[in-house]
Amino acid sequence: MRCPVVLLLLLAGSGSHALPPAPDRPALIERTKLFGNAGKSAGRISPDGKWLSWIAPHDGVLNAWVAPLHAPGQARPVSREKVRPIRTTFWSPDSSTLLFINDKDGDENFLLYGVNIHTGEQRALTPFEKTRVQIVKISRHVKDRILVGINRRDPRWHDVFSLELASGKLTLVQHNDGYENFVADEQLQVRLARKARTDGGADYFPVAGGMVGATPLVRIGLDDALSTVPLSYASDGKTLYWSDSRGRDTAALVAQDVATGKTTLIASDRRADISDAMVDPASGKVQAYQVEYLKREYRAVDRRVQDDLAFLKRAARGDFEIVSRTDADDKWIVAIDRVTAPPSTWLYERAGKTLSKLLVIRSELESAPLVPMFPRTITSRDGLTLVSYLSLPKEADRQGDGKPERPAPLVVYVHGGAWSRDYYGSNSVHQWLANRGYAVLSVNFRGSNGFGKRFVNAANLQWGRKMQDDLLDAIEWAIRSGVTTRDKVAIMGGSYGGYATLAGMAFTPDTFACGVDIVGPSNLATLLETIPPYWESFKQQFYRRMGDPNTQAGRALLRERSPLHAADRIRRPLLIGQGANDPRVNVRESDQIVDAMKARNIPVTYVVFPDEGHGFARAVNNIAFQAVAENFLGQCLGGRAEPIGGALQESTAQVRHGAQFAAGLKDALERR
């Protein structure tokens, strides 16, 4: 292990961490343009087609806005959030109320709020402390109420309530004693209950009149538990659509006759799961589906939408997604993403096949030097295909074709989950890092979902081992391909990506020049001890896929794969960011490894946000951490950085250790 003095010398550098000026290097994109509050995002049309909603800043905080569809100049904010940003909204079925969920300081105790767009009245529709609401079902066919799940009685389980939107009255529909979730039909009748099994699988039981049947209708093993789920009922309740991997590798789109149980295959793809379907607003029958392997693809099964999808594919000139539709199905809201331009929201009117731009998410980036994203497939050492996404700095890829003319420092940016995935499309982190002079590679390592159950299950009990090997194999590919050089590779990520960062720094200490961990677990045993109570039903899957803390072998495995217990091997610069209120990865996960490194005099910079949870939702906090991170990376890899300046002043950032190890941080704190 290198001594701290040597580490300090390495961190200090030569006095300047920015690349020298060069004619082929683009102007710096300001952090605030990439990580500040998005101008207008999440555009949605009301079911009656009269209103458009979106999320935009009001008094510096993201709030809900509405405007008449054809009179955007009459836009007005309708919510009144003063601190915590709104991140998603949805319409009531009768188009009178805009609904949203929000928590306090990142605690993920989400409450449901409604704003009457005519009167401006905002109400908490689930006004309970230390509870978490789930949306069970919103139906186009029942206009005055929705179904919600609330864990007020028992924090582990969500009882299902009918919520009358006009009065706010809650009526118990389904008592929950140990069920993971419930599935309701378009008439808001609860029809199925999913219950986790001790082997990590799940059973679906019939529900009628609030009573759960004794015998499961469907049994799903561990191998299929993450890729077999019911999607929706047809409006008449006679057909249930599934994303179903049973008897195959990738999940197919399947229709099940409810009366007989007979299933009919609608579509499948050998490369990727079908996990979403586009259904007719009136009948609820499947019209099209999405497959996302390298990029999103729509495929029609109903000829009535075939021409619409073909038109949108031609007109979008990029990736597109249909995000909302009217009850009459005459108007669609379409999100278009061309990557080298900021994403935008468009109105598609089916009768005349016209596409009109409504909103631009970050209009301040319209003239910015954005770079393309390139899908790549990389083969792991044991033959798996790793779908990955590469962004290159303009100075390393002057032709813009994804084939670097010269190597650049590389940041491996690892997604969270671990059972989620990276997607093609606009990515602020990719653009930010590429603009600073780094190649950026996001790898769908084994365990990432969407690529078939064999790929997911290849990650079982492989945290810190084969999952990590996939990242190392991708780095070798990048070196062979001329993307980077062996001595200029950093690792960065949040949640599982934070774990992968810590694992990389501790288990392969000579591979990475530095690492940036955001809300990553350092001790898998304490992670499993502190997961929130509403994840009770998922515990057995955690145990089967990570290691079982109830067995001696499982405890030994969890210890072996925990970076905390190899902290003494870390020898390269490390930056850690954490939300103090994180309910998923407790702040103790970061405290522990920082304490272990401090005890060994290993330099580490530790930034905590007391008003954040699992990630940094408030723009001022996100900007502050990225300011520290880019100066830290610039010091480590030699890329450019916008000075920290006053980025910390409006944030709640607490630098609890190691300000001297990140360029410009100590000075920024002194000016604060």
The alpha carbons of the chain give a radius of gyration, in whole angstroms, of 25
509-539 pLDDT per residue, tens? 999 999 999 999 999 999 999 999 999 999 9
Strand partners for 223 = none
**Catalytic annotation, pick one of 582, 611, 651, 657:** 582
Q: What is the pLDDT of residue 9?
A: 24
Q: Are 519 and 501 in contact (CB under 8 A)?
A: no
**Catalytic annotation, pick one of 79, 268, 380, 495:** 495
**Residue 495 catalytic?**
yes
3-class SS of residue 444 = coil
Confidence of residue 552 (pLDDT cuts 50, 70, 90): very high
Cβ partners under 8 Å of residue 148, min gap 6:
112, 125, 126, 133, 134, 135, 136, 160, 161, 163, 170
- Token digits of residue 10: 């390495």
Strand partners for 506 = none
374-390 pLDDT per residue, tens? 999 999 999 999 999 99
Cα 161 from Cα 169, distance rounded (Å): 9
Q: What is the pLDDT of residue 313?
A: 97
State percent of the chain over pLDDT 90: 94
State percent of the chain over pLDDT 70: 97
Looking at the chain, the number of H-run helices and the number of E-run strands are 13, 37
Q: What is the pLDDT of residue 671?
A: 84
DSSP string for residues in 524-552:
HHHHHHSS-GGGGGGHHHHHHHH--TTSH
- Token digits of residue 315: 């007109």
Q: What is the pLDDT of residue 10?
A: 26
Cα 463 from Cα 466, distance rounded (Å): 7
Q: What is the pLDDT of residue 573?
A: 96
169-224 pLDDT per residue, tens? 999 999 999 999 999 999 999 999 999 999 999 999 999 999 999 999 999 999 99
Quick one: DSSP state of residue 30? Answer: P
Confidence of residue 605 (pLDDT cuts 50, 70, 90): very high
- Token digits of residue 174: 């389904």
For residue 401, is pLDDT > 90?
Answer: yes
N residues, the chain: 672
**Catalytic annotation, pick one of 224, 614, 651, 657:** 614
Strand partners for 134 = 149
356-371 pLDDT per residue, tens? 999 999 999 999 999 9
CA dist list (Å): 236 to 140, 187, 207, 210, 328: 13, 9, 17, 20, 18
- Token digits of residue 455: 């790929």
10-39 pLDDT per residue, tens? 233 333 333 444 567 899 999 999 999 999
Enumerate the domain spans of the chain: 4-33+366-523+562-671
By C-alpha distance, which of 331, 363, 323 is closest to 347?
A: 331
Q: Are 208 and 231 in contact (CB under 8 A)?
A: no
Phi and psi at residue 117, to the nearest 5° = -75, -15
For residue 140, is pLDDT > 90?
Answer: yes
Q: What is the pLDDT of residue 23?
A: 61
Q: What is the pLDDT of residue 21?
A: 44
277-290 pLDDT per residue, tens? 999 999 999 999 99
- Token digits of residue 585: 């990865």
By C-alpha distance, which of 515, 627, 628, 641 is closest to 17?
A: 641
Residue range 102-126: average pLDDT?
Answer: 96
Q: What is the pLDDT of residue 547?
A: 98
How much is the pTM? 0.94
- Token digits of residue 432: 């930010």
Task: Quickly count: other Cβ atoms within 10 Å of residue 9's Cβ.
Answer: 11
Write the CATH number of the domain with boundaries 4-33+366-523+562-671. Answer: 3.40.50.1820
Pair type for strands 211-212 and 202-208:
antiparallel
Confidence of residue 670 (pLDDT cuts 50, 70, 90): confident
By C-alpha distance, which of 355, 349, 350 is closest to 307?
A: 350
Residue range 661-671: average pLDDT?
Answer: 88
Q: Which helix (H) or strand (E) holds 12?
A: helix 4-12
For residue 125, is pLDDT > 50?
Answer: yes
